[in-house]
């Protein structure tokens, strides 16, 4: 009798608990989980649409990033040279080069500054210059007297196509420009910056004058808002470096002034580095030459 009563009580408890949990049915559980997944998916898609809308509102920068120089540590020219030479200990004075980086405040899609400069104290004077002109012409004689390394047309084209590019600069006489275009050397000389063109001033009439101006000259071009160029050898004195840097900065200012008045471009920072050293931001000061390094540098 007692066992029958306990069995009836257990059945009553199960009935009450099932009545209190109407969603315990398998179908109800499935519908509830589907509803939960749908709600989370709707929230994710809503967040994605909101994120895409916020990204569309953000405008990309039209200028390169420039930092406030008030918080930056800057050095005089002589101090920067002293630190750079400490990094170059063990290297011969004529091997590493001082490199100048002029950072500009400029638009990303604006015109780039590009030119050629003959420094007061040339960094490299052993340039091999190739002149494309008829080998039996007066232009070839003028180029030879001016110090051209390689002169000719078909022979030069054949050598370049074979991969024998043993020259540092290349200029072309205007009478040979059509033959140069037909030779199809753009894919070979173009990536190396050696293809003559009217835009770069390397297609000329006066070959001798151009060859003389190229000897000892250095080319520079603005890339990503920065103009870089070698301005000296490690063995240069501080006075020689000062003259080269001043000539470089003044030439860049002239190039900027030649641009349209609607174009905003000016110098933000000047940094000096070398082949193996970090960059040092220059303050524009020089300091007394008697307290700095001299030309007699011993590695």
Q: So what's the pLDDT on residue 293?
A: 42
Tokens of 203: 């297609």
* Range(s) within the chain of domains with CATH label 3.30.190.20: 61-124+218-299
Three-class SS state of 224: coil
Q: What is the CATH number of domain 61-124+218-299?
A: 3.30.190.20
Is 1's pLDDT higher than 70?
no
pLDDT tier at 119, thresholds 50, 70, 90: confident
Q: Residue 11 corresponds to which tokens in the numbers above? A: 């059945």
Residue 39 pLDDT: 52
Three-state secondary-structure class, residue 185? coil
Q: Provide the 8-state DSSP code for 107.
A: B
Mean pLDDT of 278-291: 76
State the chain's mean pLDDT as an integer.
Answer: 78
pLDDT over threshold 70, residue 299: no
pLDDT tier at 136, thresholds 50, 70, 90: confident
pLDDT at residue 48 in the model = 66
Residues 126-215, CATH architecture: 3-Layer(aba) Sandwich (3.40)
pLDDT tens digit string along 20-77?
455 445 545 544 555 555 555 666 666 666 666 555 555 667 777 777 878 788 899 9
pLDDT at 183: 87
Mean pLDDT of 102-112: 86
Encode pLDDT of 228-243 as tens digits: 999 988 888 889 999 9
Start-end of CATH 3.40.50.790 domains in the chain = 126-215
Q: Is the pLDDT of residue 161 over 70?
A: yes
pLDDT for 112 equals: 85
258 pLDDT tier (thresholds 50, 70, 90): confident
**Structure tokens belonging to residue 210:** 């151009």
pLDDT at position 124: 73
Mean pLDDT confidence for 67-91: 87
CA distance linking residue 289 with residue 292, whole number of Å: 5
Instruction: From 257, 281, 241, select the one nearest 101 (Cα to Cα).
Output: 281
What is the pTM assigned to this prediction? 0.59
Over residues 178-226, the pLDDT tens digits come to 888 888 888 888 888 888 888 878 898 888 888 877 777 778 889 888 9
Nearest to 77 by CA among 276, 219, 217, 231: 231
3-state secondary structure at position 292: coil
Give the Å distances, CA to CA, from 157 to 57, 179, 259, 273: 53, 9, 36, 38
- As a whole-number percent, the residues of the chain with pLDDT over 90 amount to 19
pLDDT score recorded for residue 266: 87
- Distance (Å, rounded) from C-alpha 229 to C-alpha 102? 9
Would you list the DSSP string of 9-51?
HHHHHHHHHHHH-GGGSHHHHHHHHHHHHHHHHHHHHHHHHHH
Tell me how far apart the alpha carbons of residues 87 and 299 are, in angstroms, rounded to a whole number: 11
Q: What are the angstrom distances between the C-alpha of 219 and each of 126, 151, 166?
A: 15, 22, 18
Distance, CA of 91 to CA of 117 (rounded, Å) = 27
The structure tokens listed for 91 are 């290297």
Strand order in the sheet with 150-152: 150-152, 129-132, 169-173, 203-204
The structure tokens listed for 151 are: 């002169």
């Amino acid at each position: 009798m007692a066992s029958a009563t306990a069995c009836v009580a257990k059945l009553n408890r199960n009935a009450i608990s099932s009545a209190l949990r109407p969603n315990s049915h398998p179908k109800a559980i499935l519908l509830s989980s589907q509803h939960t997944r749908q709600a989370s998916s709707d929230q994710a898609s809503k967040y994605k649409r909101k994120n895409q809308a916020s990204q569309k509102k953000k405008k990309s920068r039209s200028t390169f990033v420039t930092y406030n120089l008030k918080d930056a540590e800057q050095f005089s020219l002589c101090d920067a040279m002293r630190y750079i030479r400490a990094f170059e200990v063990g290297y011969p004075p004529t091997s590493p080069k001082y490199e100048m980086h002029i950072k500009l405040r400029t638009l990303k899609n604006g015109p780039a500054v590009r030119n050629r400069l003959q420094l007061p104290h040339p960094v490299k004077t052993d340039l091999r210059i190739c002149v494309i002109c008829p080998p039996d012409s007066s232009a070839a004689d003028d180029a030879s007297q001016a110090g051209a390394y390689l002169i000719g047309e078909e022979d030069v084209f054949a050598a370049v196509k074979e991969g024998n590019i043993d020259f540092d600069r290349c200029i072309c006489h205007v009478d040979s420009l059509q033959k140069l275009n037909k030779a199809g050397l753009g894919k070979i000389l173009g990536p190396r910056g050696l293809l003559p063109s009217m835009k770069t001033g390397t297609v000329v009439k006066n070959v001798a004058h151009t060859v003389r101006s190229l000897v000892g000259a250095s080319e520079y071009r603005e890339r990503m808002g920065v103009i870089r160029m070698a301005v000296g050898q490690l063995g240069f004195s501080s006075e020689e470096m000062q003259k080269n840097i001043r000539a470089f900065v003044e030439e860049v200012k002239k190039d900027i002034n030649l641009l349209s008045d609607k174009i905003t471009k000016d110098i933000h920072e000047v940094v000096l580095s070398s082949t193996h050293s970090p960059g040092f931001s220059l303050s524009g000061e020089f300091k007394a030459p008697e307290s700095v390094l001299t030309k007699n540098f011993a590695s």
